[in-house]
Chain A
């Protein structure tokens, strides 16, 4: 398949993730949106790696997966902390730093 197909698919994936991050209120779903964004980036990375015949893109994708794991761990820990403190997972109610 042409590389551009993969790139468009990766961008659509990123866009879906961005839509979730921007529009959803549930912090859990927002974190899932971030995962989708990272995966969209990974797909573009691998598509370019395939197009250029260069495996460095694979290394970057590998590092991004590790980064996503760290992000998920910390993000979910923050979510649990938020829930403990405020009994909510609603992002619009987490406004402690606004006041």
Chain B
């Protein structure tokens, strides 16, 4: 793709960009406004597919594939599993507070500023080499200049795996043990409490019997 095409953007490329941009925003908004988590997850998958298309228009081919594989594939499957475990619809989905509204307003203000900066200070897209964004050139960069960050991220993933297992592990055995201990204690206390109560009841019974017998005798 030469500079003229990139800068003035051919009609086809423009159409693809606007289509993907509109779909991305639509599906992202749809995700955030759905009550049903399953619908939200599905439209998030659609968002990620549109984003993969946008990455491809930026000639980030490797990242586009990765987006589909990792996001639309792996991460979304994780989300769907969790939705399956706890499928609950919200009663009141939105929590509105003044502070949050102020935060959103600040975000919109930041957007205005950002648009201004983006208009002024970003260099125009130039010519890129043929191999730009391919697996080969990214891999070259990743394993040469960014080897330590790459290793660090693998360590992070390992920690995340272990952390995930530890956090979501079932504590049912411990809970059961606690509950059993509490129940045992309660039974013991009740027994201590019950013996005098039992005697009282027995005495009351005797009285009643006596009264009844007395009444009977009177009759």
Asked if B28 contacts A46 (CB within 8 A), the reply is: no
Asked if A25 contacts B70 (CB within 8 A), the reply is: no
Asked if A66 contacts B156 (CB within 8 A), the reply is: yes
**Nearest chain B CB to A5's CB is how many angstroms away?**
7
Asked if B104 contacts A16 (CB within 8 A), the reply is: no
**Nearest chain B CB to A23's CB is how many angstroms away?**
5
Closest to B149 in A: A63
**Considering the chains assembled together, what is the distance between the CA atoms of A67 and B150 in angstroms?**
11
Binary A-proximity of B8-21 (CB < 8 A = 1, otherwise 0): 01000110010001
Within 8 A of B (CB), among A62-99: 62-63, 65-74, 76-81, 83-84, 89-92
**Nearest chain B CB to A41's CB is how many angstroms away?**
12
A22-B104, A77-B168, A83-B86 known; A13+B141 contact, CB < 8 A: no
Asked if A25 contacts B153 (CB within 8 A), the reply is: no
Chain A residues, CB < 8 A from B161: 73
Binary A-proximity of B122-145 (CB < 8 A = 1, otherwise 0): 111111110011000110011001
Asked if A32 contacts B94 (CB within 8 A), the reply is: no
The interface residues of chain B, by DSSP majority, are classed as: helix
What is the size, in residues, of chain A's interface with B at 8 Å between Cβ atoms? 70
Chain B residues, CB < 8 A from A31: 79
**Nearest chain A CB to B128's CB is how many angstroms away?**
5
Chain A residues, CB < 8 A from B57: 1
Chain A residues, CB < 8 A from B126: 51, 53
Closest to A63 in B: B153
Chain B residues, CB < 8 A from A23: 94-96, 100, 104
Closest to B134 in A: A55
13 contacts across the A-B interface (CB closer than 8 A)? A11-B111, A15-B108, A23-B94, A23-B95, A25-B90, A25-B93, A28-B83, A43-B55, A59-B142, A61-B60, A67-B153, A68-B71, A69-B74
Interface residues of A (CB under 8 A from B): 1-9, 11-13, 15-20, 22-26, 28-29, 31-33, 35-36, 39, 42-43, 46-53, 55-56, 58-59, 61-63, 65-74, 76-81, 83-84, 89-92
